Amino acid sequence: MKTLEFKLYLSKSQQTTIDRWLIDLKWIWNAGLSLLEEDQQRRWRTKNDFDPMDGAEKWQFYRNPDRWDWQPEDSKSDFAGVFGLACSCTYYHKASQQRYPACEIRHHMQVEEPFKLAGKIQTNKVNRDKPWLHAICSRIRHSVIRSLMRAWKRYLDPCDPTRKPNYKGKRDKFTSLTNQNGKVTCCLVGANHIKLPILGVLKAKGIKVRLGDRQFETVRIVKRASGYYLQLLLHEQLTLDAPKYPDDAIGLDPGVANALTRSDGWVAKNLRLYRKSERKLARLQRQASRQRLGSKNWQKTIKQIGKLHERTAMRRKHRNHKLSTYLVQTFGGIALEENNLQNMTRRPKPKLREDGKEYARNNATAKAGLNKALLDVGIGQLQKLIETKSKITGTEFHAIASQYNSQTCMQCGAVDRASRLTQSEFCCMTCGYQEHADVNAAQVVLNKAPWTREFRFRLREPGEQSSSRKGTALPSRNRQGNLTKPAAESSMGCQQELACAVTRLTQVGTPEITGKPLSKRSRKSSKRLAHSDLDIPLQLSLWDTAEMR
């Protein structure tokens, strides 16, 4: 699937219609969800031999035609007016032979087939008394039910269950309108316009030039803080170039200090996009708190806050797209450490003191800052992009579990928590191997991957410092004894050149310096020495030479 996005230039009436549809579609979602819950409860009661109507003879129900629920007729009862829903006084559980005071709230007790009705809740035949629902395009209403059915199916999946769909409240809004039959119901009008059912002709600049002769199937209108956008989904495969090094495999270690670290020492820096926008965001939020709720100025400030969040999210997504495309088009094999962000960003549990009266300190504030930093990197989004694009380019991709990767030595395989000295230093307590902690973890991930064919592993040699235009290189933690021969020879050459330069300057003498005195910044720069990992001075200024003399 490939998506083309265009900025929409709508009239005020079109904007009003779209906003009203986004609010009215919540009713379809909530009504369908309540019918699915009723069907699930009936299946559970049938399976456990549970009598749902025991004790309900004391109640008389009447149907409210304006709402999909049932209400008690007796307004003086204890359950009357509880959200206008049906309840029973008691029910009897045959398996446990116990009687409970009240059953769970049920919305559609008298509906014969709630699951079947949930698939038709959006039709005009079922909702004859709701003319405001007929004004919405039938294709858009049908897409809401389809998305609800997909979410409910994922929720009931025993292999990979997800979170249960929630009801749409007052502050929960739909952000998109989808027409999955756009090929038939939508058409282009000229070079910059498209015609949609009921909405009419919408202006989108350059739609004819970018689309060309290709056919689109699905049309979607998305509302964001910066405006309305049109998305056309094309049924064509995304094309990417083949890997530049198909026989090379790389290991990746995501993190907070560095967004991504490769096994050869290459690093993608963490841009910290949300952190950089926090100061401006705090100023706008203080400004909105001082304004009258619902006023014009308050709405303008809220719109600015939304635009700031949108810009941060789009910049993060753009960076992840660029980074994932570069990786899959460069290497034939990628092994990435898989992180469960839901567990990593979980709130710490409260701890009681020994006396049991008060709570002890659990570092919740520090954990909140770490959670914010983890979510700011966008590790989950980057992993999904790499996994999706690797299928297109034919790159072999493996997601490796993160257990003990940072405590395992790449050279001897020993697992020791004490080997991780600091956030960036790793020193094996068994064999003495030293390396940057993130590079070592990436190399461990590379070795753990179950490769299906032979690859040439990209590993950083001791003392090697690679560089790339896409990122930076981390310094090696190894000493001079572990340096390779070319690096050792280059260090000896630097020492010889340095000795010759000092000798020449000593014979010539120090020139007399006249003119204005140097500023504080110039004095600092003149005395600054460039140190390598071996603490070898690479250059000296005249001021340092005079002091040595």
With tokens 């753990």, the residue in question is 448
Question: Each residue of 477-522: pLDDT tens digit?
Answer: 443 333 223 333 333 444 444 344 434 434 444 333 333 444 444 4
Angle at 253 between CA 347 and CA 416, to 5 degrees: 80
Dist CA 34 CA 515 (whole Å): 86
- List the beta strands (DSSP E) in 393-521: 396-401, 425-427, 434-436, 456-457, 472-473
Question: Each residue of 314-355: pLDDT tens digit?
Answer: 999 999 999 999 999 999 999 999 988 888 888 888 888 888
Fold designation for 245-347+367-473: Nucleotidyltransferase; domain 5 (3.30.420)
Nearest residue to 39 via CA among 149, 125, 124: 149
Position with higher pLDDT, 114 vs 5: 5
For the segment 522-541, the average pLDDT, to the nearest whole number, is: 38
Nearest residue to 331 via CA among 405, 275, 256, 389: 389
Report CA 96 to chain centroid distance, whole Å: 46
Cα of first residue to Cα of last residue in the chain, in angstroms, is 72
Using DSSP bridges, classify how beta strands 187-189 and 200-204 pair: parallel, antiparallel or unpaired: unpaired
Question: Each residue of 95-115: pLDDT tens digit?
Answer: 666 655 444 556 676 677 888
Dist CA 288 CA 285 (whole Å): 5
Please tell me the predicted confidence (pLDDT) of residue 252. Answer: 93
Which structure tokens are listed for 340? 């469960």
436 in Cβ contact with 426 (< 8 Å): yes
For residue 383, what pLDDT band results from cuts at 50, 70 and 90? very high
For the segment 399-409, the average pLDDT, to the nearest whole number, is: 91
Please tell me the predicted confidence (pLDDT) of residue 411. Answer: 87
For residue 83, what pLDDT band results from cuts at 50, 70 and 90? very low
Residue ranges per structural domain of the chain: 10-52+109-174, 245-347+367-473, 485-548
Nearest residue to 407 via CA among 430, 384, 390, 391: 430
177-203 core/surface letters (b: 16 or more CB in 10 A; e: else): bbbbebeebbeeeeebbbebeebeebb
Dist CA 169 CA 420 (whole Å): 48
For residue 93, what pLDDT band results from cuts at 50, 70 and 90? low
106 in Cβ contact with 34 (< 8 Å): no
pTM of the model: 0.73
Question: Each residue of 458-480: pLDDT tens digit?
Answer: 887 554 544 433 455 555 544 33
* Counts of helices then strands in the chain (DSSP H, E): 15, 22
Angle at 338 between CA 334 and CA 341, to 5 degrees: 145
Report CA 24 to chain centroid distance, whole Å: 29
Dist CA 394 CA 526 (whole Å): 53
Please tell me the predicted confidence (pLDDT) of residue 545. Answer: 34
Dist CA 282 CA 355 (whole Å): 40
